[in-house]
Structure 1
Amino acid sequence: MRADATLLLLDKDAVEQLLTPDEVTQAVREAFVLHGRREGRVFPVVREKLATGGVFGIKSGDVPAQGLLGFKAAGFWPANREIGGEPHQATILLFDPATGRPQCVIDGNAITTVRTGAAGGLGLQLLARQDSTRLTVFGTGVQARSQLRFALRTLPRLACVEYVSVDRRADEGFESLFADQCDIRCARDADEAVSRSDVVITATPGAGPLFDAGALRPGTHLNCVGADTAGKRELPDGVLQRARLVVDDREQALQLGELQWARETPCVELGTLLLGERPFERAAGEITVFDMTGLALQDLTVARFIHERACAEAVGTRIGWAW
């Protein structure tokens, strides 16, 4: 038995210290390209409701050529808000594929937040009209904030942002984060806000349709984040039938995403577009949708660079882990 081996632990503070938006975007882009080339594998997703009221899931995969193997155990526990906690919980583990030894335990909340925002940014870069000036975001929580941050980085002409909060009331904390980057205000009527928008981002718990399909005007792009479990949705009937649909993974979107509600809708994976294998030219009046269910490879490529940087900079806590 080897007794000199260690396991690296990286908590939330350590991860946030090492994250940078540009590097996360680069890692997420790599994940989509690996997926498009089928050089990275995505294993079947576990996503189960619990008797406690939470939802627990596991996303896992590997990149054999890079010696990258791991999983993210994550879920959503809404009752955490009542005790002052974050409802989303996630932990990432990286393993040595040659031995099965755990290498690193990483707080997954910060990684999930930023890698999903970066994926949304890539979707906007490829699919949205680059002259877009008006955006509506549904939600004011952690993921809505991340999506809006990356949208403002990606679409430099965005000037007007409307947000739809759960109670239709203004959220001063949310507004203060973006007030110096755009004209931001609370939308009282979701349909009216959507009808004025070039870009719509849905980042809610996915409890049901958020607006009327008739509110969408030609040329709008939608990033849809909240449908990540069977039974969840944010889009009303009729939207996907009018749109060009892009997904992160077709099989996963059929199980968990908006695609589960319109299963015959033709779609293309984002990795294919990034590889240039299928040219994407947007007609001015087209409606486009990016159905984002979240790939294990996104978590793993980001976790890998966090692990490498933590080792190089001696960040984190090491504990003995004999084998």
Structure 2
Amino acid sequence: MPNDARLVLLDKDVVESLLLPDDVLEAVREAFVLHSHREGRVFPVVRESLATGGIFGIKSGDVPTQNLLGFKAAGFWPGNRGLGGEPHQATIVLIDPATGRPVCIVDGNAVTTMRTGAAGGLGLQQLARPDSSNVCVFGTGVQARVQLSFALRLMPTLEKVRYVTATSQPDPAFEALFSARCDTALARDRNASVAESDVVITATPGAAALFDLEAVQPGTHLNCVGADTKGKRELPDGLLQRVRLFVDDRTQASQIGEMQWAPDTPCMELGDLLTDHVQFKRGRDDITVFDMTGLALQDLTVARMLFDRACQANLGTALSWPW
């Protein structure tokens, strides 16, 4: 048995120093393409409530042709806010598929945030009207911010942002992040803001419908992030029956995404658009929804990129991990 095996740890500081938006976009696009070609597999998701009040999940998968195998253990612990910490927690583990030995452990918080933002940006590029200018964002937290950042990065036509908070009060920190790039202000009426928007981004804890069905106008695109567990939702009853629905993974979305509320809704996977396995020509009045539940392959391709960069730059902490 080899006694010189090493395990590399990439902590928060190392991850954030290496996590560049363009690199993440490339890795997330690769994950969608691998999934579309069925070269990458995603295994059944574990998502369970805990007695502590947290929600714990595992997303895992592999790419046999690339010797890529691993998982992300993650979830949501709302009590962390009272401790001054982030409620979303994630850890990614890359494993040698030939031996089962771990090769790298990655702090997954920033990875999860940015890969989800990148996925949302790719969804907008594929599905939103190219002349979209008005955005309505539900939420002002970490995920809402990264979704809007990628939206503005990839769709330069966007110029007006209206945001909705749970308290209906302004969020000066959120406005400060984006006011130099676009007209950013609190939405005084959530339904009116949805009706006036070309793009709607929902990035909330997903407790209930955020707006009325009648607010959604022809031509709108919606990126939906919050529904990632059984029982969670952000969209009103009846909307999915009116839209062209796109998902990251059909089975996963029907179990834990918005699609769980209408599991028989016809849908297409975003990766199939990127690989031209399916064709979609948006009609001017089409309403489109991208139901994002997050692919394990996205975590793995981004984590592998970070591992490779860290090794090249001699970053991270290497531990002896003998058999």
Tell me the TM-score normalised to structure 1 length: 0.99
Structure 1 match to 2:300:
300
Residue 320 of structure 1: CA displacement?
A: 1.1
The residue that corresponds to 1:148 in the other structure is 148
Structure 1 residue 4: deviation in Å?
A: 1.6
* AA partner of residue 22 (structure 2): D
- State the AA in 2 paired with 1:201: I
Partner in structure 2 of residue 312 of structure 1: 312
> Is the 1:134–1:158 Cα contact (8 Å) retained in structure 2?
yes
Aligned mates of 1:202, 1:233 — CA distance in 2: 10
- Show the counterpart of 1:58: 58
Separation in 2, partners of 1:201, 1:104: 33
One-letter code aligned to 1:255: Q
Superimposed CA distance per residue, residues 229-257 of structure 1 (whole angstroms, 9 cap, x where no aligned partner) = 00000000111111000000000001100
Aligned twin of 2:111: 111
Q: For 1:71-220, what aligned pairs fall within 5 Å after superposition?
A: 71-220=71-220
**Partner SS for 1:132:** coil
Q: Structure 2: how far apart are the matches of 1:141 and 1:254?
A: 26
Quote the offset at 1:2 in angstroms: 2.6
Counterpart in 1 of 2:12?
Answer: 12
5+ unaligned residues in a row in structure 2: which ranges?
A: none
Shift of 1:10: 0.4
User: Runs ≥4 in structure 1, deviation > 6 angstroms?
Assistant: none
Which position in structure 2 is the counterpart of 1:231? 231
Distance in 1 (alpha carbons) for counterparts of 2:31 and 2:73: 18
- Does structure 2 retain, via aligned residues, the 8 Å contact 1:224–1:291? yes
CA distance, structure 1, for counterparts of residue 168 and residue 94 of structure 2: 41
Assess if the C-alpha contact under 8 Å between 1:195 and 1:215 holds in 2.
yes
Q: Structure 2: which amino acid aligns with 1:27?
A: A
Amino acid paired to 2:228: D
What's the counterpart of residue 39 of structure 1?
Answer: 39
Equivalent residue letter for 2:82: E
Separation of aligned partners in 2, 1:238 and 1:181: 35
Question: Contact 1:169/1:188 (CA < 8 Å) preserved in 2?
Answer: no
Q: Matches of 2:273 and 2:2 in 1, distance apart?
A: 46
What secondary structure does 2:71 align onto?
A: strand
Q: Deviations over 1:298-323 (max 9, x none)?
A: 00000011000000000111111111
CA–CA separation in structure 2 for the residues paired with 1:195 and 1:120: 21
Q: Distance in 2 between matches of 1:175 and 1:316?
A: 35
Q: What is the TM-score normalised by the length of structure 2?
A: 0.99
Q: Which residue of 1 aligns with 2:68?
A: 68
CA distance in 1 between counterparts of 2:163 and 2:250 reads 29
Partner of 2:255: 255
C-alpha distance in 1, partners of 2:246/2:135? 19
CA–CA distance in structure 2, aligned partners of residues 165 and 253 of structure 1: 26
Shift of 1:147: 0.1
Q: Distance in 1 between matches of 2:2 and 2:251?
A: 41
- Distance across 1 between alignment mates of 2:304 and 2:153: 24
Maintained 8 Å contact 1:132/1:198: yes
CA separation in 2, counterparts of 1:39 and 1:278? 17
Structure 1 gaps, min length 5: none
How far is the alpha carbon of 1:189 from its aligned partner?
1.3
Q: Distance in 2 between matches of 1:269 and 1:108?
A: 25
- Identity within the alignment, %: 69
Q: 2: distance between equivalents of 1:12 and 1:187?
A: 34
Aligned with 2:151: secondary structure?
A: helix
Equivalent-residue separation in structure 2 for 1:162 and 1:207 (angstroms)? 21
Aligned residue for 1:8, secondary structure, equals: strand
Letter in 1 for 2:275: L
Q: 3-state SS of the aligned residue for 2:132?
A: coil
Q: Equivalent residue of 2:188, what SS?
A: coil
State the 1:291 CA deviation.
0.2
Is 1:40–1:62's contact at 8 Å kept on the other side of the alignment?
yes
Deviations 1:204-226 (A, max 9, x none): 00001000010011100000000
